[in-house]
Amino acid sequence: MSRRVYLDWNATAPLRPEARAAMVAALDAVGNPSSVHAEGRAARAIVERARAQVAEALGAQAADVVFTSGATEAAALACAGRGLVCAGVEHEAVLAWCDPALAVDGAGRVAVADPARSALQAANSETGVVQDLPAGLAVSDLTQAFGKLPLAFDWSGIDAGIVSAHKLGGPKGVGALVLRRGLDLTAILRGGGQEMGRRAGTENVAGIAGFGAAAAAAARDLAEGVWEPVARLRKILESELSGPENGTILIGKDAPRLPNTICLATPGWKGETQVMQMDLAGFAISAGSACSSGKVRASRVLEAMGFSPAVAASAIRISLGPGVSEDDAGRFAEVWRAARAKALARAGARGGEG
C-alpha cells in the first residue's frame, strides 16, 4: 500500500522538529511565568525568547507581540467593537466581528476605500490569492502569509496583524496579535493582567516555546528559498489538473497567489465527494476552510467572488508544502484525473452532479 500523501498544509502544517524539541524542553519549566522566584523567571525567559523569535520573523518589535490561544482569539482582540468592514472572502474568525461590505472581484482581489476602518487578509486560505495591503489598514489576517511570504510588519503601516503557530509548523492552540507601536486595545480576557495587560491568563509556556521555534525555523526556510521549488511544483500540478478542455476551473489564476495553494472547481463533481474519494485513495485535501467543525459545504469564498453555487460546491483546495515530492504530486494528479473522468461521465449520464 502506498504511503499517504498530505496535501492540506493550509489547514495545518506538520509539526516542525524544532518546535517539538522546544515544547518538550519547556514542559520541564515548573514555574509560572508571572512568579518572581527563580522557577518563575525561568518560565518567563522561555516566553520572552519565543516572543522575540516571533517578532523577528514578522519584522516587528517583541514588545508589540501579544500571545493568544490562536488566530481566532487574536482576531476577536483586534476587531471586537471597532465597527470594521471587510470582504466576504475573510476567514470566519474575522467575519464574526466585521461587516462584509467590501467588494471582491472574480480574481479574489478586494478593493479597500477606507483602510482605517477595514480588515483585509494578506492571503486567502482557500484560493491562495494575495492582497495588496494599504498603509493605515486597521487589521490584517496574516496567518497564511506568515512563513510563506516575506513580511515586515513595522514597515507595513498595519495597525494589527493576526498570526497562528500551527500554520507554519508550530503547535495548535497558540497564536499572536502583533500591534503597531502605541496602539492600545481593550482586553477581552481580563484578570491577572498578563501579556502587558492586553490578554489575561497564565501563558501557555510550552505552546509559546513551540511557536517561537517554529517561527524562527520558518523565517530561516523562507530566506533559504524553500518555497521556490514548492511554487514550481504548484504550477506543474495545476497545469496538469485544470483547463477548459477538461471542465476544471483554476480559481484565482489571474491574481498573485501563495506559492503552495491550488483551488480547483469542477462543476458536476461535488467538493465533498472529491475529498472523500481522495482520502480513500490516500491523499489528504480539503474543500474550503478546515475551520468549520468538520462540515463540508459550498465555498463561501467562491460565492463572495461571484461564482455560481454549482461552481462553489465543486471547489477543492490542494495546499502543498516543502515535504511534498514531485512523485507525490504526480501520483495525486493521476488518481484525481481518473476519478474526475468517472465522476463527470456519471454526472453526464444522470444529467446532474456527482
Cβ atoms 12, 167 nearer than 8 A: yes
Closest CA to 99 of 82, 116, 83, 75: 83
DSSP state of 243: B
| HEC sequence for 29-67 | CCCCCCCCCHHHHHHHHHHHHHHHHHHHHHCCCHHHEEE
Q: Say which amino acid occupies 171.
A: P
Catalytic residue from among 79, 86, 263, 291: 291
Residue with cell 461521465: 345
Distances (CA, A) of 263 to 127, 257, 271, 289, 341: 5, 10, 11, 11, 18
CA 82 distance to own-chain centroid: 23
Closest CA to 126 of 268, 303, 246: 303
* φ, ψ dihedrals at 351, nearest 5°: 75, 25
Classify residue 292 as left (phi > 0), alpha (psi -120 to 50) or beta. Answer: alpha
Distances (CA, A) of 104 to 155, 287, 303, 304: 26, 20, 10, 7
Residue 291 falls in the annotated catalytic set: yes
Helix runs in 88-156, H state only: 92-95, 153-156
- Rounded Cα distance, 137 and 86, in Å: 11
At 123 the three-state DSSP class reads strand
Residue with cell 513595522: 154
- Rounded Cα distance, 12 and 7, in Å: 10
Do the bridges between strand 85-87 and strand 99-102 make them parallel or antiparallel, or are there none, so unpaired? parallel
DSSP state of 140: E
Active site residue ranges: 291
